[in-house]
Amino acid sequence: MAHRLLEGIRIVDLTMVFAGPVSTKIMAELGAEVIKIESVQRADVFTRANVYPENQPGDDAWNRGSHFHALNAGKKGISLNLADERGRDIFKRLVGISDAVVENYSPRVMDNLGLDYEQLKKVKPDIVMVSLSGLGHYGPLRDFYMYVPGMEGMGGLTYTTGQPDTPPLLTGHAYGDWVAGVNAAAALMTALFYRQTTGKGQYVDLSGREAVACHLGDLIME
């Protein structure tokens, strides 16, 4: 079997829903060992946002989400309660033997848990961390959180949709999430290359809105 680009890289995956899991799915497909951290208390919405035959979810409805499986295939998984000190201790031990952490919570979450980049650097000085949120971790809008409709609207993508005599329209199937996820994967690989060449970790703060705007260069220039 051919060697894959990211074999030997271990990534702790704290993402959920769409954009974040897209990024770590790409990493898994390139050979990285991706360990998805799940919460029993607050499960990924894609574990339950499903349609079932005859509207009958069955006994294992939590494990039948097609979107969830499509975005998380090829990953390992563990359930941790990060609100509990024991869960945070296990998480830090896992970070200590990993290369990168990816999360897409709102900015306050990792800070409140005491698991922000500055704290994780104390566990592993060369750790790479990518934070993917709707509007970034800095600036006056940092505490607003959003899903793809807001990202596409504020990023300018909806300006390109619809007809001249109609209001802007959302794109099909969360296009902005795909864009943000691919950008996050590229940023993570760049940061890992930087670490490989310098021995230093990196923190990447990625805004979904900015990722969407980056795909509209021609329109912005007009």
DSSP string, 18-42: THHHHHHHHHHHTT-EEEEEE-SSS
Tokens 């769409």: give the residue.
18
Token pair in block for residue 197: 């060449």
Output the CA angle 48-52-56, nearest 5 degrees. Answer: 100
Q: How far apart are CA 115 and CA 65, in angstroms?
A: 29
Q: Which of these, 8, 31, 2, 51, lies nearest to 185 by C-alpha position? A: 31
**Of 111, 165, 177, 218, which residue is the catalytic one?**
177
Q: Is 143 a catalytic residue?
A: no
Q: Are 116 and 127 in contact (CB under 8 A)?
A: no
Give catalytic residue positions: 177
